[in-house]
Amino acid sequence: MSKKIFETKEAPAPIGPYSQAVEVNGILFVSGQIAIDPATGNLLTDNVEEETHRVMKNIEAILKEAGLGFSNIVKTSIFLSDMNLFAAVNQVYGSYFSEEYPARECVAVKTLPKNVNVEISVIVAR
């Protein structure tokens, strides 16, 4: 098995012992992204729409580093601090895709890293 690690300064640096993304056999696994602005290191949590856009931009930067895009995503996992945020997150999330949407689950969890409201991870195929 050959694996390749992807890392970009255009997305937040890992805050623990993990990589931004790992590719194995043409499948890229992108670690969960939260709304950290990579330029400042600040969390963007004033509203869930802004927060979700930042998460998606972080994912986009990692995909770009790997030479991929949103159309390559086959599976997403969305974690919310409260299921009442679903409609707002879903609207922003959906704006990054067209027609052939990836498979997905969305769950509410008790707490997310740095007490954010949304975290999203993706699995991507070349």
d(CA 18, CA 14): 6
Residues forming a β-bridge with 27: 24, 125
Spatial separation of the C-alpha atoms in residues 73 and 63, rounded to whole Å: 9
Cβ distance 74 to 103 under 8 Å? yes
Query: Which of 99, 109, 121 has the alpha carbon at shortest distance from 20?
Result: 121
Read off the pLDDT of residues 46-94 as tens digits, 9 standing for 90 and up: 999 999 999 999 999 999 999 999 999 999 999 999 999 999 999 999 9
Q: What is the pTM assigned to this prediction?
A: 0.97
DSSP symbol at 124 = E
Confidence of residue 1 (pLDDT cuts 50, 70, 90): confident
Phi then psi for 116, rounded to 5 degrees?
-75, 170
Report the CATH number at residue 11. Answer: 3.30.1330.40
Tally of domains in the chain: 1
Residue 88: domain span: 3-125
